[in-house]
């Protein structure tokens, strides 16, 4: 018995979507691996060490700075430096900017499924600008 045409087409679309999802998952895993290799042996404090002030100061009170460059730091650093941004949200941020380019606004964070209250908490801490140096936004 032959299947109706729409059912066959829907099945093909579903299979194609699954293949696309698998490819995105592989790409994300490879990007994570590349970042891990490139940044091996360095943590958030190491990349912020050249910034003015002490590391302890910058880690304990980033609220006033707005210097966390969301478009350059790896997922591990985003999860460590931003309240409410754990490994899952950090991976979404890195994956989105890898695929679509730099994030530009709070709306971009919300589009990634990050809750409004979390977005509001991190907005004073982050910069969407492209930094002159990795990890810290250039002064305005």
Residues 130 and 87 in one domain: yes
Phi-psi region of 53 (alpha: psi -120 to 50; beta: other; left: phi over 0): left
Q: Considering the chain, what is the average pLDDT of its residues? A: 74
In a domain, 3, yes or no: no
Cα 118–chain centre separation: 14
Could you give the number of structural domains in the chain?
2
Is 55 inside any structural domain? no
Close Cβ partners of 131 (under 8 Å, ≥ 6 residues apart): 69, 71, 72, 137, 138
**Number of Cβ atoms within 10 Å of the Cβ of 91:** 19
Residue 80, domain extent:
61-140
Does one domain contain both 72 and 140? Answer: yes
Clarify whether residues 132 and 83 are in a common domain.
yes
Q: Which residue has the higher pLDDT, 23 or 134?
A: 23
| Average pLDDT for 111-127 | 95
Same domain assignment for residues 65 and 32:
no
**pLDDT tens-digit readout, 35-68:** 666 655 554 444 443 334 433 444 444 444 578 9
1 domain residue, yes or no: no
- Judged by phi (left if over 0) then psi (alpha if -120 to 50, else beta), residue 113 lies in left
Domain CATH code at residue 130: 1.10.150
Asked if residue 17 and residue 82 are part of one domain, the reply reads: no
Alpha-carbon distance 75 to 81, whole Å?
A: 10
Cα radius of gyration rounded to whole Å, the chain: 19
Same-domain status, 100 and 139: yes
Is the pLDDT confidence value at 129 over 60? yes
Residue 94 inside a domain? The answer is yes
Specify the pTM. 0.50
72 & 20 share domain: no
Percent of the residues in the chain that have a pLDDT greater than 90, as a whole number: 40
3-state secondary structure string across 3-65:
CCHHHHHHHHHHHHHHHHHHHHHHHHHHHHHHHHHHCCCCCHHHHHCCCCCCHHHHHHCHHHC
- Give per-residue pLDDT as tens, 100-117: 989 999 999 999 999 999
Is residue 77 located within the same domain as residue 114?
Answer: yes
């Amino acid at each position: 018995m032959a299947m109706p045409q729409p059912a066959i087409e829907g099945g093909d679309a579903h299979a194609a979507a699954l293949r696309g999802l698998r490819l995105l998952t592989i790409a994300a895993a490879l990007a994570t691996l590349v970042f891990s290799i490139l940044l091996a042996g360095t943590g958030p404090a190491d990349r912020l060490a050249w910034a003015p002030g002490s590391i302890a100061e910058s880690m304990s009170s980033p609220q006033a700075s707005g210097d966390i460059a969301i478009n350059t730091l790896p997922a591990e650093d985003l999860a460590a430096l931003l309240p409410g941004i754990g490994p899952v949200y950090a991976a979404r941020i890195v994956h989105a900017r890898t695929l679509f380019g730099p994030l530009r606004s709070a709306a971009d964070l919300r589009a990634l499924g990050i809750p409004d209250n979390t977005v509001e908490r991190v907005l004073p801490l982050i910069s969407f600008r492209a930094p002159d140096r990795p990890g810290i936004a250039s002064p305005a």
